[in-house]
Every structure is written in C-alpha cells, then in structure tokens.
Structure 1
C-alpha cells in the first residue's frame, strides 16, 4: 500500500497517526476482501482548512470531521470486480482510491464528546472514509444502516473498541 501523508497545523494527535492510518486502511481493505493493494492520499489538517475545503467542494461553510474524495465511481459499493486498468497506478498496479481529509481538532473533540479515545475516533473516521472511497454512502436510510453495520464490523475486526 502507498499512503501519501501530509499534515498541517500546530495541533498534534497523541499517537503515531501515519502508522495507525496505514494499519486501518489496510485492515479495512482486507475486511472488504479487496484483491488490490491501494494508493490513498491522507491530509490531517485543522478546522479552518477543512472548512475551506468543505466550502469549495460541497458548498457547505462549516468545519467537518472528515471529507472523502473517491477516485473511482464504484457501481456497486465494495465490488472490486468492475475495477479497470485505468483505476490502477500504471507503475505500482495499486488501486488509486482517492483522498481523505481529517480535522485533527475534530478527532480530539469528538473523542471527548463520544466518550472514547482520540485514537478510536481517528480510526473510525478513516474506516468511514475508506468506505466512501469504495462506493458506500449514507444518504438513504438503507445505505446508512448498511454503512453503520460494516463500520462496526470493521472496527471489531481491527480490535479497536470504544
């Protein structure tokens, strides 16, 4: 797996965010039975920057916890059988999944708010985002239920609990 990682802002997370991200992304893809190694871009940033990105791309003028920008339009969520060679990095043959942007401030505040560790919140946001990158969504009630069920199963699979 290739993880292009960048971090902006002065706030630091109280754990090794790069290695956790690699573990969570790889574990999520293993759980989903992806036959590919993946390439993902991850940006850890601050509320003001994620707010600007959210405004620019979604026309929503507020900070959010995580944004996902899929590189592939999965017809069926999590179905890797329709992946074409155009979706693969020609040099590494890794599946180019897309971009994840996470607010470090939200990781810390939501961990407190939901009564669990920042590490658990960070891992959850990555799992949530990877599911978006492979086509899952939560706009409709049935999609939301499916995504929540899979997120819970992946967190258990990764042995990251509340």
Structure 2
C-alpha cells in the first residue's frame, strides 16, 4: 500500500513516522485492502485540525482525528473489483496536541494514542463508522484487535 505520512508539526522523528506507515500496512493487509491502494496520514496541531473541523464538519473546535474518504463505502467485493487500478482510500488527519492530552487523560503512552487514532481513521476510510451503539462496538472491537495483533496493547506498552 502506498502511504504518505506527513508530520506538519515537526515533532515526530523519521522512525516514528515509519512506524505509523508500518502499522497502517499491517492493518491494510489484515483487512484485505489491495496493496495498490493509496492513502495519506497527516499529523497536525490543534489549530490546523480545528480549521478542518470547522470547514468540513461545521464544528469550530479541535478534534482528535478526521478522515476524508474518497469513497462513500468500500465493501470487500469492491476491493477485488478495483485490483487493476490503485484504490484511493483518502486522508487521515490526527491532531498531535489532542492526542497528547488524551494519552495523559487515559493513562497510556502517546504512541498508543496516536496508533489508536491512526487505525480509527483507517477504518473510517474503509467504511466503518460509529453512529450507533452496534456499529461502535464492532468498530472499536476491530480497532483493538488490529492494535493488539500488531503488538500495541491498551496500556500503551508495545
């Protein structure tokens, strides 16, 4: 999978950015996403994500993660139908500022929080949502399974 990882904050090192690319690659393989697929992951500050949130969701507050899917839904049979051409999944934007606050609030590492938000964003690109309780349970269970399978436990220790 072609993944562009961008740190607009300048706070993350090259190894950290590579680790998020590897996490997304692992998750994409687990979800049977074609290797020709493309997406981006951007780390921004609260000011940047607040601007995006205001523009696209009419919520003028910072948030932790935004996903901009290129497709409305991506059922698994769509993956196979597009095997001959790159599938543009979309963009995930994570606020490093908000992630830091949430990691402290939840009592786990920043790495764990950023990983959680990254996988959460990817699942949104793949058509998962949490608009009702059943969908939320399904999405969060899948998120935890992917993180755990990759070796990132809830405590933040990997």
Matched residues in 1 for 2:5 and 2:143: separation?
A: 23
Match of 1:127 in 2: 119
SS of corresponding position for 1:105? helix
Match of 1:8 in 2: 8
> Quick one: higher RCO (CA 8 Å, sep 6+), 1 or 2?
1
Matched residues in 1 for 2:112 and 2:78: separation?
A: 32
- RMSD of aligned alpha carbons: 1.9
How many residues matched? 153
Q: 2:108 aligns with which of 116, 124, 143?
A: 116
How high is the TM-score relative to the length of structure 2?
Answer: 0.87
Matched residues in 2 for 1:22 and 1:67: separation?
A: 17
How high is the TM-score relative to the length of structure 1?
Answer: 0.85
Match of 2:31 in 1: 32
* Cα deviations by residue, 1:70-113 (Å, 9 ceiling, x for unpaired): 112225xxx3212444xx7x8xx432110011111122121111
Q: Which runs of 5+ in 1 are unaligned?
A: none
Runs of 4+ in 1 over 4 A off after TM superposition: none
Matched residues in 2 for 1:24 and 1:59: separation?
A: 31
